A and B are shown apart, each in its own frame.
Chain A
Amino acid sequence: MRAPRTSSGPCVRLENVSRRQFLRSTAAVAAFALAAEIFGLEPGFAYETGGGQMPHGIVNDPHVFVSIDPSGIVSITAHRSEMGTGIRTSLPMVVADELEADWSKVRIVQALADEPRYGNQDTDGSRSMRHFFQPMRQVGAAMRQMLEQAAATQWGVPLSEVQATNHEVIHRPTSRKLAYGELAKAAMDLPTPPVESLKFKPDNAFRYIGHGNVPIYDLFDITVGKAQYGYDVRLPGMKYAVIARPPVVGGRIKSFDATDALKVPGVEKVLELKVSWAPPAAFSPLGGIAVVATNTWAAIKGREALKLDWEDGENGGYDSAAYRQQMAEAASRPGRVERNQGDFDKAAAAASKVISAEYYVPHLAQASMEPLVATATIRDGAAEVWAPLQYPFGAREAFAKLLELPIEKVKVNVTLLGGGFGRKCQSDFAQEAVLLSKALDGAPVKLAWTREDDLHHGFYHTVTYSRLDAGLDSSGKVIAWRHRSVAPTLFANFKPDPKREQAIELGLGLADIALDVPNVRVETGEAAALTRIGWFRSVNNIPHAFAVQSFIAELAQALGRDPKDFLLEMIGPPRKLELEKLGVTDPLWNYGDPYSTYPIDTGRLANVVSLAASRANWGRSLPKGSGLGIAAHRSFLSYVATVVEVGVDSQGKLIIPRVETAIDCGFAVNPERIRSQIEGAAVMGLSNFIGEISFKNGRAEQSNFDNYPVARIDNAPINVRVHIVPNGSDVPAGGVGEPGVPPFLPALCNAIFAATGKRIRSLPAGDQIRV
């Protein structure tokens, strides 16, 4: 039971089955029932997602994801990577609920990297629940029906007389029961029922889905230090290694002297990791000099003792201050038109007033608390890797290629990720471990990155310079809007540098902005990628939303309007935007999901604005030095509005006593983890306010948390309250992990303006306000 992978069939769907016909047959079944059903089941309702378009698409077979042992323990496979979102719990929880399994008898098994078996495993883009909520319900429903069939067969009764509930199947007329464990073998031996035959629990029968009552599976282990992250892998006879990498991307070693390094106690070997790095290099390692030792510390000390002479290559001149000037110049000139709705030039010329502003968001580093790490060994022509990977299967393919082994000879274990935020999509670090093990004749080796390595050799968040221009008519209505965005693209990793944002990046809150303005133009300017640009939680939505939502507040201020009312006016009346009227040059990416399922719905966007504002008691009077700011943004197919309250303490230091965030993410499968994601998004939003990775002579200037500050408990928002718009399971699930991040920065800066009159347009904010 595998989803078709043709372009027309992205997901297993039931649209072809007549809903009415299904209801008729269900009614017929009900007439035969001799005792009341414990809860009614419903025929499948399904919406189309982009899951089937991802590499290896969707798999929804219980024989792949579920096994039940004779004691009744239900093992459910989690095929997505756990980096803090709770997905390793939430997807199996969906299976368990639809399967009528008792959660206390459920065990979670982490999948190996094996997309042909499990379907797509790329854990990013806030799409795990979006793409797998329905397939996991199908897995659970199919397994439930197999258990019911096994019981009916054993009792010799009609299927219509049995019902699975809470880990047992009941024969309703006689109240006989069989536990799941007793039925396990017979049920597992049955073929998977066709998806068209599946029936689903109604929302009001869910025990776990939508309730938020299931703690994350690893909770106890985390609190006692037993949870296993990539950094915690230990193998018998394992060596520990670190690598001295070229300080400039594209650089290479000219010469090195390992004499002193080899004198460090514990250092066993120093070797060159030779790679031919050349753009577009995808996720290739940078090469360098590896120090292999008996423990991590010895390897680090050994590396410090290396004498290294680097050649920097063509990125040796990367200088963030000069680069910013070039970006500003590019933003001052017409760029490539990416969206053209109406006629901006004509409308701007006719405007009674034109207001302009420029915004800057620097490079940022994901800086997950667990730095990059991977362990590899090769034995008898087969390799095994343990690593915290967001793209485990892509990594496995890369390892097989590096080792010139068939992919079946490469086994990849996905550990817990101590944070990811996009950095662990790129498998460069794990490829290093594989190359190193090969160089050590297959010996088990753990390749560890220090924090300095993490900040110096990143796949960084891009750097963005934005210029916005708005034309107002004499009544103060915005009649023209132009957004020029200049940012190097992460697609320079995959093709000759196109030197401007690409279709996917345009779809991250730039070309897909909902504005009730008749003349809208979006342009991109040229900017070459002079370092490695990578995925970062919510990606280009950060600078795009910062610019757009700050600018809307600036327009409100210029017009003497209330920022919330003006924002609602800019969003306009409730409507689903018609794609063809947007004027986008490239097809709208829409996060890889069909527009028919996930249109741009201004009613939902306006609704979260109103909800957040009302929970924040928008309009209340605040003491001098305090202020409220609001921002709203649709990203990853969810709608989020945030109201930030700020104050300034007696020392002039910023305090954030309260944040009210409203999210409409469609059906809220695990509300408790949605709350934790949105709480965390506010904290990361503050980190994005204070952090910067800058370059000088091609080198990242920041090295650790002392010069790359991130939010701490003593400056983080004190109370983030999350308001989830209630929806039924028929409202397609949107993303959750990322959409909380983009509106925070502009809401914060709008609040700072309200509190202090200071408009922050350039980040980091460090020299503009004490945080």
Chain B
Amino acid sequence: MSIEVTINKRSYIVDVAPDTPLLWVLRDVIGLTGTKYGCGIAQCGACTVHVGGDAVRSCITAVGDVAKPVTTIEGLDADGNHPVQRAWRDERVPQCGYCQAGQIMQAAALLAETKNPSDQQISDAMSGNICRCGCYQRIQSAVRTASRGV
């Protein structure tokens, strides 16, 4: 079945079952592998993308239900210089880096909604994103830093 989705301002027509999660469409069909698989049940946040500006877990979002434009880590900023991305580099957040695309997308969505989040708001918003390397204190700090640059 042909389904049309807009990803990073570009339109794609994909031929998959409509219940296929957006995650696998992005990764396996379109080839945008920046969005990661971590759990498949919306427990870890590694697959976070923006749909219509909202952070969603693409692993449980059926592609057939995606009605708004999708932004992935590859499309967050043309030069990779979104304030969150800059803060992530300035604060040397990543270790293995695998979860960071999801973390960055989650943080960017938070800051789009809440310009100057409190520590509690940051912690609440980021608590669905697991980092097994344990970069949490730098994530907390980088979101704070990025909030000054948004």
In the assembled complex, the Cα of A192 lies from the Cα of B134 at a distance in Å of 42
Chain A 692-713 against B: per-residue CB contact (8 Å), 1 yes, 0 no? Answer: 0000000000001110001111
- B34 adjacent to A370 (CB under 8 Å): no
CB neighbors of A among B63-82 (8 A): 72-74, 76, 80
CB neighbors of A among B114-131 (8 A): 122-124, 126-131
Q: Which residues of B contact A416 (CB under 8 A)?
A: 96-98
Most buried by A among B43, B100, B130, B137: B137
Q: Could you tell me how many residues of chain A have their Cβ less than 8 Å away from some Cβ of chain B?
A: 68
Most buried by B among A417, A704, A716: A716
Nearest residue (CB) in A for B27 is A296
Nearest residue (CB) in A for B72 is A225
- A84 adjacent to B100 (CB under 8 Å): no
- Sorting the interface of chain B by its residue count into under 10, 10 to 19, 20 to 34 or 35 or more gives 35 or more
Chain A 209-246 against B: per-residue CB contact (8 Å), 1 yes, 0 no? Answer: 00000011011101111111101101000001000000
Q: Which residues of B contact A614 (CB under 8 A)?
A: none
Nearest residue (CB) in B for A82 is B96
- Return the contact of B96 from the options A298, A418, A451 (Cβ within 8 A): A418
- B24 adjacent to A295 (CB under 8 Å): yes
Taking the closest CB of chain B, its distance from the CB of A228, in whole angstroms, is 8
Nearest residue (CB) in B for A684 is B134
CB neighbors of B among A443-464 (8 A): 448, 450-452
Taking the closest CB of chain A, its distance from the CB of B25, in whole angstroms, is 8
* Given contacts A295-B28, A368-B132, A451-B40, A222 and B33 within 8 Å (CB-CB): no
- Return the contact of B134 from the options A85, A215, A704, A716 (Cβ within 8 A): A716
- A713 adjacent to B123 (CB under 8 Å): yes
Nearest residue (CB) in B for A707 is B43
B29 within 8 A of A: yes
- Identify whether the interface residues of B are mostly helix, strand, loop, or mixed: loop
- A419 adjacent to B133 (CB under 8 Å): yes
Q: Which residues of B contact A677 (CB under 8 A)?
A: 95
In the assembled complex, the Cα of A339 lies from the Cα of B37 at a distance in Å of 47
- A718 adjacent to B137 (CB under 8 Å): yes
B38 within 8 A of A: yes
- A672 adjacent to B43 (CB under 8 Å): no
- B92 adjacent to A84 (CB under 8 Å): no
B85 within 8 A of A: yes
- B98 adjacent to A369 (CB under 8 Å): yes
B99 within 8 A of A: yes
- Identify whether the interface residues of A are mostly helix, strand, loop, or mixed: loop
- Return the contact of A84 from the options B76, B80, B96 (Cβ within 8 A): B96
A681 within 8 A of B: yes
Chain B 126-149 against A: per-residue CB contact (8 Å), 1 yes, 0 no? Answer: 111111111111111000000000
In the assembled complex, the Cα of A82 lies from the Cα of B96 at a distance in Å of 7
CB neighbors of B among A436-480 (8 A): 448, 450-452
Q: Which residues of A contact B100 (CB under 8 A)?
A: 222-223
Taking the closest CB of chain A, its distance from the CB of B45, in whole angstroms, is 10
In the assembled complex, the Cα of A155 lies from the Cα of B107 at a distance in Å of 57
A652 within 8 A of B: no
Interface residues of A (CB under 8 A from B): 82-86, 215-216, 218-220, 222-229, 231-232, 234, 240, 265-266, 294-298, 300, 367-371, 416-421, 448, 450-452, 672, 676-677, 679-684, 687, 704-706, 710-714, 716-720
* Top 5 A-B pairs, shortest CB-CB distance: A225-B34, A683-B134, A418-B98, A84-B96, A680-B134
7 CB contacts below 8 A, A to B, read: A219-B89, A223-B89, A295-B29, A369-B36, A369-B98, A683-B134, A704-B43
- 9 more A-B residue pairs beyond the given contacts A224-B74, A297-B24, A672-B92, with a C-beta to C-beta distance below 8 A: A226-B74, A232-B33, A298-B20, A369-B44, A418-B99, A451-B40, A705-B41, A711-B134, A714-B127
